[in-house]
A = this chain, B = another copy of it.
Amino acid sequence: MVIKANNSNLTQLSPLELRHLIRKGDYTNQTSGLCAGYTQANLVILPKALAYDFLLFTQRNPRPCPVLEVSDVGSRKLVDFARDVDLANDFPKYRIYRNGKLASETTSIEDIWSNDLVSFIIGCSFSFESELLAAGIDVRNISEHVNVPMFNTNIKLKSAGVFHGNMVVSMRPIRDELVPTAVQVTANMPKVHGAPIQIGHPEEIGIRDLNHPDYGDTVTVKDGETPVFWPCGVTPQNVIMQTKPPLVITHAPGHMLVTDVINSTLKY
- Would you give the shortest CB distance from A136 to chain B, in whole angstroms? 23
Within the assembled complex, what's the spacing in Å between the Cα atoms of A51 and B60? 15
Chain A interface mostly helix, strand, loop or mixed?
A: mixed
* Complex interface: chain B residues within 8 A of A190 (CB): 268
A67 near B: Cβ within 8 Å?
yes
Within the assembled complex, what's the spacing in Å between the Cα atoms of A80 and B59? 12
Within the assembled complex, what's the spacing in Å between the Cα atoms of A150 and B191? 30
Residue in B51, B55, B158, B268 whose CB lies within 8 Å of A79: B158
A-side interface size class:
10 to 19
* Complex interface: chain B residues within 8 A of A168 (CB): none
* Complex interface: chain B residues within 8 A of A56 (CB): 55, 70
Which interface residue of A51, A56, A72, A160 has the most chain B CB atoms within 10 A?
A56
Within the assembled complex, what's the spacing in Å between the Cα atoms of A268 and B268? 9
Interface residues of A in 41-97 (CB under 8 A from B): 51-52, 55-56, 59-60, 67, 69-70, 72-73, 79-80
* Complex interface: chain B residues within 8 A of A72 (CB): 160-161
Residue in B55, B60, B268 whose CB lies within 8 Å of A59: B55
Smallest CB gap from A68: residue in B: B59
- A selection of 6 A-B contacts at a CB cut-off of 8 Å is A55-B56, A55-B59, A56-B70, A73-B161, A80-B158, A268-B268
